[in-house]
Amino acid sequence: MNGYFITLEGGEGAGKTTVLKSLRNELQEKGFDVLTTREPGGIDIAEKIRQIILATEHTTMDGRTEALLYAAARRQHLVEKVFPALRKGKIVLCDRFIDSSLAYQGYARELGMDEVFSINQFAIQDCMPDLTLFFDITPKKGLKRISSNKDRERNRLDLEEMHFHEKVYEAYQLLVEKFPERIKVINADQPLERVEEDAITTLTRDLKEKSIELR
């Protein structure tokens, strides 16, 4: 596949969804063909799975069921949307991907990062991101940000205790250590315009280093 696959990761309230739009605009202005999407979701079947996973009334959902549903949504999203775009040479910007499963289900739910990686390997067939931007902000500050945004929908994972979000944050630090080539850290604990600037600079540098020509 000759496209370029970029994922955005971070805990709740890290600002990645907003930054994704600026990155898309920036890349489009430079002449790239860009597809933006999100997980879980992005296509009809995966959006339906998203509703099942995130419904606040599904309090009895087993951790492994949750991990398998994320992986199933991921698989369908890749096949229907991401693979075709990468084959056409597009830049794909995806809000969350496998690192979310490793952090939330593997580490915070304590299912094991290796175990969760292996069920995901079945789903993704080696399609790892070329670049991942991790938006770094402590859960306390991130959750404070979302609590002041009244329009944001609250999902089942938002309602987890602080300890869970702390573990998610810890897991991302481990992932950054484990994949230093792929995962670049963006300081998300600054005004949004600065976060956007840093993300654009990091992305542009990465594309240049990998000789993906900016037109």
How many whole angstroms separate alpha carbon 38 and alpha carbon 28?
18
Asked if residue 36 binds ligand TMP (CB under 6 A), the reply is no
Give every CB contact of residue 8 below 8 A, 6+ residues apart in sequence: 16, 17, 19, 20, 93, 94, 95, 96, 132, 133, 135
Report the residue number, 76 or 101, with the smaller CB distance to ligand TMP: 101
Contact between 100 and ligand TMP per CB under 6 A: yes
Q: Indicate whether 76 belongs to the interface with ligand TMP (CB under 6 A).
A: no
Which residue among 36, 76, 101, 132 contacts ligand TMP (CB under 6 A)?
101
Cβ atoms of 98 and 120 within 8 Å: the answer is yes
| Residue choice 157, 174, 185, 212 for contact with ligand TMP (CB under 6 A) | 157
Indicate the residue among 22 and 152 with the shorter CB distance to ligand TMP: 152
Q: Give 121 or 155: the residue with its C-beta nearer to ligand TMP.
A: 155
Does position 70 interact with ligand TMP (CB under 6 A)? The reply is: yes
Residue closer to ligand TMP, measured from CB, 13 or 32: 13
Span of 80-88, 101-109, 128-136, 193-201 interacting with ligand TMP by CB under 6 A: 101-109
Classify residue 19 as exposed, middle or buried by CB count within 10 Å of its CB (0-12, 13-18, 19+): buried
How near is the Cβ of 32 to ligand TMP at its closest, in Å?
24
Least distance in Å: CB of 171 to ligand TMP?
11
**Distance in angstroms (rounded) separating the CA atoms of residues 141 and 8:** 18
Q: Which residues pair with 37 in a beta bridge?
A: 94
The least distance separating ligand TMP from the CB of residue 68, rounded to whole angstroms, comes to 11
Work out whether 39 is an interface residue with ligand TMP (CB under 6 A).
yes
Contact positions vs ligand TMP (CB under 6 A): 39-40, 70, 96, 100-101, 104-105, 155, 157
